[in-house]
Structure 1
């Protein structure tokens, strides 16, 4: 037991010493941990500072790259500038040579300028006098304008008389444009546009018999085509009538001139007859020209060709004949435009022919007046 107690006592002493050592170690570890914590804070701050430094260095590198580029451009600019300066120096050398000559010329130029100033003073005096003259002229022109205004008011009756004479002058009958006919043609053209739109948008409904409509469209086209042919025939007849009448009148004038010569009548009688027949020939030529224009060959609108009709039937099938009404309607509307133009021209040709017939009375009146004056 004594040994056991001594052993235990020693063990307790050792454990006490160990506890002291451990306590000191714990105190040292606590200090070490505190130091380590401070070190970590310092390291974190250092990392933050290094990060900022890296950013600053990156910006600095970018700035340095830009600076190098600027320096390269600056060097290029300096090189160009040196070239320009070299050229400028050459020019300056030439300029100095020219300046020497210019200095020699300058005295003469100064004398010329002095003379020019004298001339300018004289010119200014002349201009002042001219302005005074122009002021007087303006006053005179103002008075003249007032007089002209009064004269125009006094002559207003003459202008009205002249305008009335011009409106009623028979020569205006030879005009080519007829406003009413143009309006009718415009209406026919609008109908043609409607027919073309109808041909594009036509649709066939099932259960309805369109046979009579198809036949009506064909008959309508044939009717307008026959009317166009009749208009051509009428224009041809106008040409024949006017030509025959012109030949007769020409023969009559020639025969009348020979009779006048055989009867020893004055020469002015024949001249008056020819002048009096001039309106007849003018209306005759106008009628023939208009009729020829009406007879001028033109491209007449017509329905599609047979081969196109076959393709149309293949494409539309059983409704092809019904839908083909639109093609006939479009062709008939286009042919109606041609017929309207021909009809207007034929109508104007007949009017000119009628005026030519009326103008035949002028030579007879001239003959009577000449006989009265000669008698």
Structure 2
């Protein structure tokens, strides 16, 4: 079991990496699920079992791509272009989030070349389930490591000892939507796999409540709610049973006091100091940005200045970040790219399959800023949505 305060030696972590990744050179079908799940679990956990530097992952995935290039094809020009921007960002901005973002995009594009069928896409969906199961389990076991000041009193009950709870909640929530989707799917499943999915859904629900990230909880409720609505192949009686079970679990969790922190944070006044109040942050930054003049408003001031403009705090919003960093040009391009899978050869049948995941991502883009911060799991989530759109058109 991973220990929160233990740092494993580099040799041990590289050994784990070799054990996990070397077999992938013989089995290309498992490349996306293994790379996605193990990298993000290591990144989000309290300690790393494998080196989670995205540089190592980029090198490994590129090597895997080269070893399977006869079956996993992608345009060399596209790969070269993205590597070019990655190295430019390294030269000018050192290894900041811009470089991380470009590296994540390159890795995801390479992984996408391994996905050519519906079966490959279903296999990738279980990466999100595995991540949610692992992070929720570690979270619940080491819950006290997160809570260093859980004191019942005004201004005292907060999450000061936690490791980026917003990202943790989003990670668990993303897996919950995929877990419910796989559970309700008519794809053949063994009894044990169904039990695993139900168990994962249960512990993930408990973890996301204790995590007390309001944005993530809203995204989960929206994604799962839409999923229950659009899954027409599932009988209404089963949907009603699921809703009753969820309501019962929420009521029971509330009686045990698991909602205390969440309720406390919901009653707090919006604060631009911690990011708890999003609107004051957006208003402040956009007002200061619009005073920069026409050229800056049209082309932006860059991601580094986006953090410091107005007040040195993150926007917690991908759309605001796109606008301030790259101006109207960047915002329009971002919206086009983000919504492209929805409108590509549009059909209501395809929309029903995409909407739960797209709605989840859209909400997180408004409260977390996962894409411009280069959160790898969410870049893969967008790739999943994009691939689903292509394969179902």
Instruction: Give the TM-score of the pair, scaled to structure 1.
Output: 0.19
**Structure with the larger helix share:** 1
Q: Which has the larger radius of gyration?
A: 1
